[in-house]
A and B are shown apart, each in its own frame.
Chain A
Amino acid sequence: MRLYFKYVSILFKSQLQYRASFWLLSFGQFLVPFTVFAGLYFMFERFGQLQGWTFFEAALCFGIIHMAFSLSECFARGFDAFSGLVRRGEFDRLLVRPRSTVLQVLGSQFEFTRVGRMLQSAIVLGWALYSLPVEWNTAKVTTLILMIVGGVFIFAGIYILMATLCFWTIQGLEIANILTDGGREMAQYPLNIYERWVKIFFTYVIPFGCVNYLPLLYILGKQDGNEWFYMLLPLAGILFLLPCLAIWHIGVRHYRSTGS
């Protein structure tokens, strides 16, 4: 863990070498989800509500998933940009160092410019929390934090899966965007507005629903059933990461036997 922060600090120093680019990119990252959020706002302006969800409830949903997404892009960027690492042959370098590959790949990149996106998500999140008539207690705050953490784990898991694909094919990883960007776009709205199969997919396969929609029901007092169950659902995100890591290790083994 300490080593990870050393990696981050050296990357931060690198980033500081390009200050103008840093500010421009951060600003751009601030604007991109802003337009999406504006879309959400105007839709509610027009229709008032969405299948029983008010604007601020949906905004909370939006804020949480975008927060998780921007955090994961900061921390797990190394896996997101992994194809470049393999193409440049730098993965060999990681293999001759006495540390785990996962840690080293995580430490290979850190996307500081995502603070723009993070800031925007934080504003939306703050606004929604402020405007919602929720009675906050420790349990609910914990749940909220778990939701964001769980979300980060899911996005990280997807990045790792896609990075693993690089061991077999170098190009054409647009499928990654379907899962990350697509998953984010889906999960920024309450899951109950979608078709059944979409709900099932995003609950049991890639458990975005478990870190966002379902525990949100609990926070908003809409759940039926045990509170604890809803509260602990975000842990599914952490469970999702485990098979991803296992697959990653299979990929590394494949790489080391084929060298490509």
Chain B
Amino acid sequence: MQDTIIQLEGIGKSFKVAKRSAGLVQAAKALLVRDYNVVEALKDISFSIGKGEIVGYIGPNGAGKSTTIKVMSGILVPDEGSCQIMGYTPWTDRVTYVKNIGVVFGQRSQLWWDVPVIDSYELLKDIYKIPRQMYEDNLRMLSETLDLAEFIRTPVRQLSLGQRMRCEIAASLLHSPSLLFLDEPTIGLDAVSKLAVRQFIKTINKEQGVTVILTTHDMADIEALADRILMIGKGTLLYDGSLEQLRGRFGVQEKESLDEMIVQLYKEHQI
């Protein structure tokens, strides 16, 4: 097994969620006294990921995928458990740690909306204190492989979703992180952009050895990219293994699509 880059042990996290009940009287009451439900978002999550892996992190909506990503990227502090990534504990050494990771939230932009993409990149260069030479090399490599040249001087708001996503991914890699978190990178993309994004993820993984963790609902992403699947449901880790193993478990039936297998797996665990 390769060197471990991520080591999670017994991570647990619960949130207090204010109860909402119907009716005006209830709503008025809620102004004064709040009832809370405690929701366990993550329960005893442990796994480790080796350098250079591409891991697909899947699970139904609200299963705890984003929470895990937030813990691993240092945004959230968990209630219990330990997490070691590249020798750092993400939430205690936030500023030094995040220099080594790239994060793409598929639904939120990290680019400045009204200015050309290249201006955002220039600012990111200063935020991450990227040396000029490294910045230029990375920018050239990224704009070649992601085909950014034709719209890199266009304001972000005028880009199509596919173009924007390519720019987002490039933005998260300018500082040469060795670990990349992609939260639903293909959401809403057309077929061409999807394939381009997938191809690119493969390339940087192979050529630069970047470890990639991606969450997605598109099983084709997983099929094309992930050597390994982590499945989470209701805050617990349900499956950890390769795609082949999963296929093997259900008997190799060519007809059965990955989507169907996943649904069966969900059913098995009643989530």
Please give the residue numbers on chain A whose beta carbons come within 8 Å of chain B beta carbons, in ascending order. 2-3, 6-7, 10-11, 13-14, 17-18, 88-90, 92-93, 95-100, 253, 256-260
Contact = CB atoms under 8 A, between A and B. Distances in A.
A259 B70 contact: yes
Contacts of A95: 73-75, 94, 98
A45 B221 CA distance: 75
B110 A93 contact: yes
B101 A96 contact: yes
Question: Which 10 pairs across A and B sit closest by C-beta, in order of nearness?
Answer: A14-B114, A98-B99, A95-B75, A96-B103, A17-B114, A13-B115, A257-B77, A256-B77, A98-B98, A98-B95
A113 to B, nearest CB: 15
Given A10-B115, A14-B112, A90-B108, A257 B76 contact: yes
A187 B98 CA distance: 43
Interface of B: 15-16, 67, 70, 73-77, 79, 91, 94-96, 98-99, 101, 103, 105, 108, 110, 112-115, 119-120, 122-123, 126-129, 155
7 contacts: A6-B122, A6-B126, A10-B115, A14-B114, A89-B108, A96-B103, A259-B67
Given A92-B105, A258-B16, A3 B115 contact: no
A92 B105 CA distance: 10
B-side interface mostly: mixed
A2 B122 CA distance: 13
A97 B74 contact: no
A250 B174 CA distance: 32
A97 B75 contact: no
Given A2-B126, A10-B123, 14 more contacts: A3-B127, A6-B122, A13-B115, A17-B114, A17-B115, A90-B108, A95-B74, A95-B75, A95-B98, A96-B73, A98-B127, A258-B15, A259-B15, A259-B76
Nearest to B95: A98
A18 B155 CA distance: 13
A18 B113 CA distance: 13
B28 to A, nearest CB: 15
Contacts of B98: 95-98
B185 to A, nearest CB: 15
- Most chain A CB within 10 A, of B119, B120, B127, is at B127
B128 to A, nearest CB: 6
Contacts of B128: 97-98
B251 to A, nearest CB: 41
Contacts of B122: 6
Given A98-B96, A98-B128, A10 B119 contact: yes
B200 to A, nearest CB: 20
Contacts of B112: 10-11, 14
- Most chain B CB within 10 A, of A90, A93, A95, is at A95
Contacts of B99: 98
Nearest to A108: B112
Nearest to A94: B75
A14 B123 CA distance: 13
Nearest to B67: A259
B75 A13 contact: no
